[in-house]
Amino acid sequence: MSSTPTGTRRRPPIERGDRIPDFTAPAADGETVSTRRYYLRRILALVFTHRWPCAACQDYLRAIAERIEAIRAEAGEVVAVLPLGPEVALGNLATLPFPVALADDVEIHERYGLAASDGRPLAGVVIADRTGTVYEVDLADEAHRLLDPEEIRGWLEFVSYECSECWVDRAQAPRGR
């Protein structure tokens, strides 16, 4: 896990072995995003951003978009979760090649333990298997570093070969940074 961001969390972040909290939210393309729709069919990478618009988060989502074919080749899907700020400038989010859930506050972030005590949403990546079981949680550090998109692909590949019932030693899982 990355170093802890500045600010105290309201509750501990979701951890390995936890089930992801389900959510349904409006999407940037006008549809609806539901975690159950994805994790029952594919391995899921949930990408939580800081309050939108955040330039570093926008760059990160674009970098993931460039790797989406390789990510999907590993039976994976990316779902971005954006807590909207008071000045909403969505730009071309609807053109991203993966679902983008639009949250009007930090409620979804809070359910995952990704909200600071002052109410700021924290950026992070949560990798879950087809049953919604968490395999990895990576929080952005002070420099706004998150898993490289290739590391996301690596995690999805790793999880695709795992037996979720066996829970083999996670020490051999791909590690970044």
Q: What is the C-alpha to C-alpha distance for residues 96 and 27, in angstroms, rounded to an integer? A: 11
Judge contact between 176 and 3, C-beta under 8 A.
Answer: no
Assign residue 65 a region (left: φ > 0; alpha: ψ between -120 and 50; beta: otherwise). Answer: alpha
Whole-prediction pTM: 0.84
Domains of the chain by start residue, with CATH: 24-172 (3.40.30.10)
Distances (CA, A) of 15 to 12, 63, 87: 8, 25, 32
pLDDT for 166 equals 55
- For residue 39, the surrounding DSSP H or E stretch is helix 35-39
Q: ∠ CA 113-115-118 to the nearest 5 degrees?
A: 140
Residues 6+ apart with CB under 8 A from 25: 32, 33, 81, 101, 102, 103, 108
Q: What is the C-alpha to C-alpha distance for residues 11 and 28, in angstroms, rounded to an integer? A: 28
Tens digit of pLDDT at every position of the chain (177 positions)? 444 444 444 456 799 999 999 999 998 888 899 998 887 788 999 999 998 778 899 999 999 999 999 999 988 999 999 997 655 566 667 788 999 998 878 889 999 999 988 888 999 999 999 889 999 999 998 888 999 999 999 999 999 887 655 554 444 455 544
pLDDT for 49 equals 93
pLDDT for 12 equals 64
Q: What is the C-alpha to C-alpha distance for residues 109 and 97, in angstroms, rounded to an integer? A: 22
